[in-house]
Structure 1
Amino acid sequence: MPHSLVLNLLPVAPIPSQFLTGRHLHALFLNLVSAVDSDLSAYLHDQSNEKAFTLSFFQVSRQEVAKSSTAPTQKRVLPAAARPIFQAIQWEQKQAIRENTPIWWRISLLDDSLFDRLTQLWQQLNFESPWHLGPTNIYITNIVSEPQSNQPWVNFCTYAELFDRASETERQIAFTFCTPTNFRQGVYDSAMPSRESVFGSLANRWNKYSSIAIEPTFIEAIFPSFFDIRTEVSTDSRSKFIGCVGDVSYRIMGDVNPVAIKQINALADFALYSGVGRKTPMGMGMTRRLQNF
């Protein structure tokens, strides 16, 4: 069952910027999993491609910073004014995140066969004990797993429901690429969101984790109708990642049967959970479908 949820976090000391990279957050997620299921953590770590989860970068809420600097002795629940609302997604923190700054962190899960084990993870997490990111202790204040009006990155749906709900008539498909997105083409990378790259990436992940096969034989019927994108670079001490961010709208053209249109719409809806392109388990390729574009 694809599930996109948000962890609300509170650091009790500054988080230096060098510990806010995708690989550090990837390691933190595996540590969370390992705390309740070490075998599952090892399995997720060893997956070589199309991993069963995606992550965002830490998102700093633009709300009043929590005043308290003492470590919690019980589960913390932020006041409503400090809970995160939707905002432009951040993919690079040039400065340290200050102590007591509310943070939200999106995690999506794709594998039906692992869903029950991953669900137990959230039920067994200890809210009273800190987690470590570099030199900093971080507390999980709560987990948002049900859709919220102010948090469009939270949702869940089975693959069958995603497919059944997909439109058989909607021909306009629009995406917003919220973090740098690129695609492997042979031995090189491309930051251009071509129809083959975007829908091929979605179909590969869908087919790996869903029992409803979608063969992307319809790609030649998809044409870009609008784009407002730019290249962005995300760097850390090890690498430079060049990708695109912005909005692209595609249109289904010609005589296309309703089943193919439904498949295209199902993949577009799936993008919320799967992202597209490379390094989605490290925050890249974070993508949402835009409605009424």
Structure 2
Amino acid sequence: MPRAATAPKRKPRAKSAPKDSVPTWADDTQLVGLVFDLEATATASLYSQYTIGLHAWFLDQVRQVDPDLSAYLHDGESEKAFSISALEGQLLPSGKQLKLVANQIYHWHINALSQRVALFLKQWLTNLPKIIDLRGASLQIKQVSIAHAPTTYAQLLRSPVEQSVVDLSFVSPTSFRRKGHHFPLPVPENLFHSYLRRWNDFSQQPVEQEAFLEWIDENVIIHQHRLESMKVAAGKQGSVTGFTGAISLGLSKAALANTEFTQLFYALVRLAPYCGTGHKTTFGLGQTRSGWLQEQKSATAEQLVADMLAQRIEELTEIFAAQRKRKGGERTDRIAVTWATILARREHGESLGAIAQDLEMKTETVKTYVKLARKALKGTVGGAIGNQ
């Protein structure tokens, strides 16, 4: 047979990272933390609540591989089995929004808190998409590395104690829910309640909560702290007051008599960087690191824009709540927060469709709420406000 014509050389397929650099771990891993190096493909505007977009993008990636897992992570009644960070890097203020800088590298963390999620991440890394798109702001995935070592809950429990006093740093705004309000202080009982909830959900070694938290309250000592508070917008909840900074913790001498709880105390400290602290950890809040981060950074552009949006939401919430109470409206606080959140984000340049998608509402409903909120500000709604 005649020799076939030489086929033209195929162009090599672009990869986000060399194959031999793709992180991997054992199938029984329950906890692992990844950090993505992302490069902005162009200078582009980024809406202030872009972490909602990162959350949605990640869950869509899960859906494409494992729809059942995606549904569980989105709708499940248990603790969320993952956490994500905001972008770390040079974000510039651009009016009421942020700006990605072309060719700059940004870092983004994803942490798995269960074996099922860790297995998904392991499979997903072998076939990553090249681009993360946040409403037209594109980030190219350049590299993925392990930030927090693959491990299991049992291994955390067995790890030796290297030092009696431990430090935790809260690198994104952190807050707890307490008596129906946000509580922006790292009180030990709140800290360890946050970690214990995840432990009891995913470790398969649940601990009686009340007894352990009573022991925490009696025996954990705060040796040092350096904290500051800030307001951030948080999805449908309006504004949240959170704290950032660092804290040093230790145990009283009496605590050491209870070896089981002492062992769990140190295991939960090791768990903190994986699960984060407080609530909204799947939207970038409560990101936690081991150790005392010495550098005191000035307020970033992201913090300034987030604070601007949060302050506007709070201001509008007070106005709408006061108006509705005068009119005798029901569900006053919830509706006031919803109106305030939608109108503030609209004022910050976000589209009705984008707001509706983030808040999981119909676009027409969001459009109606914007109109009602604007009329309420002008004081021309009259009795209709109290009847919505």
Normalising by structure 1, we get a TM-score of 0.78
Match of 2:57 in 1: 28
- 1:32-56 deviations in Å (ceiling 9; x for gaps): 2223233322221113452011000
| SS of corresponding position for 1:57 | coil
**Aligned pair in 2 of structure 1 residues 48, 23: CA closer, same or farther (>3 Å)?**
farther
Structure 1 residue 118, shift from structure 2 partner: 3.0
Q: Does 1:7 align with 2:41?
A: no
Match of 1:287 in 2: 288
CA distance in 2, matches of 1:232, 1:49: 28
Match of 1:121 in 2: 124
Q: Is the 8 A contact 1:19 1:134 kept in 2?
A: no
Match of 1:77 in 2: none
CA distance in 1, matches of 2:220, 2:230: 25
**Aligned pair in 2 of structure 1 residues 102, 189: CA closer, same or farther (>3 Å)?**
same
**Aligned pair in 2 of structure 1 residues 211, 252: CA closer, same or farther (>3 Å)?**
same
Match of 1:90 in 2: none
Paired amino acid for 1:158: T
Match of 1:17 in 2: 46
Paired amino acid for 1:201: S
CA distance in 2, matches of 1:4, 1:11: 22
Match of 1:106 in 2: 109
Task: Choose which of 182, 198, 206 in structure 1 pairs with 2:199.
Answer: 206
CA distance in 1, matches of 2:55, 2:235: 16
Match of 2:225 in 1: 227
Structure 1 residue 250, shift from structure 2 partner: 1.9
Match of 2:66 in 1: 37
CA distance in 1, matches of 2:253, 2:235: 48
**Aligned pair in 2 of structure 1 residues 236, 187: CA closer, same or farther (>3 Å)?**
closer
Q: Is the 8 A contact 1:166 1:263 kept in 2?
A: no
Structure 1 residue 101, shift from structure 2 partner: 1.7
Q: Does 1:154 align with 2:148?
A: yes
Paired amino acid for 2:43: P
- 1:218-243 deviations in Å (ceiling 9; x for gaps): 21211222111111122378632210
Q: Is the 8 A contact 1:57 1:283 kept in 2?
A: yes
Quote the RMSD (CA, aligned, Å). 2.5
Q: Does 1:195 align with 2:224?
A: no
**Aligned pair in 2 of structure 1 residues 116, 61: CA closer, same or farther (>3 Å)?**
same
Tell which deviates more after alignment, 116-125 or 231-240. Answer: 231-240
**Aligned pair in 2 of structure 1 residues 115, 42: CA closer, same or farther (>3 Å)?**
same
Count of residue pairs the alignment pairs up: 253
- 1:126-146 deviations in Å (ceiling 9; x for gaps): 33xx3321013332112113x
- 1:95-129 deviations in Å (ceiling 9; x for gaps): 311222211110000012332233212222233xx
Structure 1 residue 11, shift from structure 2 partner: 2.6
Gaps of 5+ in 1: 63-92, 146-152
Structure 1 residue 9, shift from structure 2 partner: 1.4
Task: Choose which of 43, 48, 51 in structure 1 pairs with 2:80.
Answer: 51
Computing the radius of gyration over CA atoms, which structure comes out larger, 1 or 2?
A: 2
Normalising by structure 2, we get a TM-score of 0.60
CA distance in 2, matches of 1:61, 1:17: 12
| SS of corresponding position for 2:245 | strand
Q: Is the 8 A contact 2:277 2:286 kept in 1?
A: yes
Match of 2:252 in 1: 253
CA distance in 1, matches of 2:252, 2:293: 18
If asked which structure has higher relative contact order (CA below 8 Å, sep 6+), I would say 1
Match of 1:70 in 2: none
Structure 1 residue 12, shift from structure 2 partner: 1.6
CA distance in 2, matches of 1:196, 1:50: 18
CA distance in 1, matches of 2:183, 2:197: 18
Gaps of 5+ in 2: 1-29, 295-388
